[in-house]
């Protein structure tokens, strides 16, 4: 039995492995050539690094503006988004993806709060919200719901609760870094009241419909 620490949908690799299977059927390459083809597919990056960095900058800065930040907040959020890409590229041994995401969210939340305190950015809350949108598993959750709708219950339930726990931990951690004037108990009270917010309920319904 082997523990699977992470999973993802990578259709390009599926296509590449399918191509290798056709090559094997057509000309039967030797074992060394077959292993080399498998190794090339495993090591192939999903996107070029510059594209991932540009995408993280644009997504984080756009969400910051969407939630009420100004242009300086957007720029700061964009650079913290680049920091997320850099941190995610590191492989932390003996740390699963869930804990890794929580650590990255703490680092980015602390960076946003510290930069705003020193005047590099005007609204720490909007900067944090923009950056954590890169860490929320927005695609994994509807995919998990889809698995449950097609009777793949074990995979669907596992992935759904994993996504839910990650989103909850990231949100809680970043919320605790916001508004240091409030005590921890007051923050918990506000977070509890926010769970029933109509916008949150609407977002959950959108995820369910997307998965269906």
Report whether 107 contacts 123 (CB < 8 A).
no
83-112 tens-digit pLDDT? 988 888 776 666 777 788 888 888 888 888
pLDDT bin (cut points 50, 70, 90) of residue 79 is very high
Whole-number Cα distances in Å, 57 to 12, 51, 62, 104 = 24, 10, 8, 16
- Tell me the average pLDDT across 167-175: 75
- Tell me the average pLDDT across 7-15: 74
Checking if the pLDDT of 174 tops 70, the result is yes
- Tell me the average pLDDT across 164-178: 74
For position 185, what pLDDT does the model report?
A: 74
For position 33, what pLDDT does the model report?
A: 81
Radius of gyration of the chain (CA): 20
Burial of 84 (0-12, 13-18, 19+ CB in 10 A): buried
Q: What's the CA gap between 47 and 194, in Å, rounded?
A: 36
């Amino acid at each position: 039995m082997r523990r699977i620490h992470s999973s993802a949908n990578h259709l390009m690799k599926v296509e590449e492995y399918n191509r290798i299977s056709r090559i094997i059927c057509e000309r039967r390459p030797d074992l060394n050539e077959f292993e080399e083809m498998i190794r090339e597919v495993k090591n192939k990056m999903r996107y070029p690094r510059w594209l991932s960095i540009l995408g993280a900058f644009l997504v984080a800065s756009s969400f910051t503006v969407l939630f009420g930040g100004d242009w300086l907040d957007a720029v700061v959020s964009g650079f913290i988004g680049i920091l997320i890409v850099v941190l995610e590229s590191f492989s932390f041994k003996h740390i699963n993806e869930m804990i890794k995401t929580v650590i990255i969210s703490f680092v980015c939340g602390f960076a946003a709060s510290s930069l705003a305190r020193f005047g590099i950015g005007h609204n720490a809350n909007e900067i944090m919200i923009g950056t954590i949108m890169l860490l929320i598993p927005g695609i994994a959750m509807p995919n998990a719901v889809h698995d449950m709708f097609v009777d793949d219950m074990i995979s669907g339930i596992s992935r759904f609760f994993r996504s839910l726990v990650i989103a909850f931990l990231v949100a809680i951690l970043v919320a605790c870094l916001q508004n240091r004037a409030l005590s921890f108990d007051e923050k918990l009270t506000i977070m509890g009241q926010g769970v029933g917010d109509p916008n949150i309920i609407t977002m959950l319904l959108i995820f369910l419909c997307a998965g269906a």
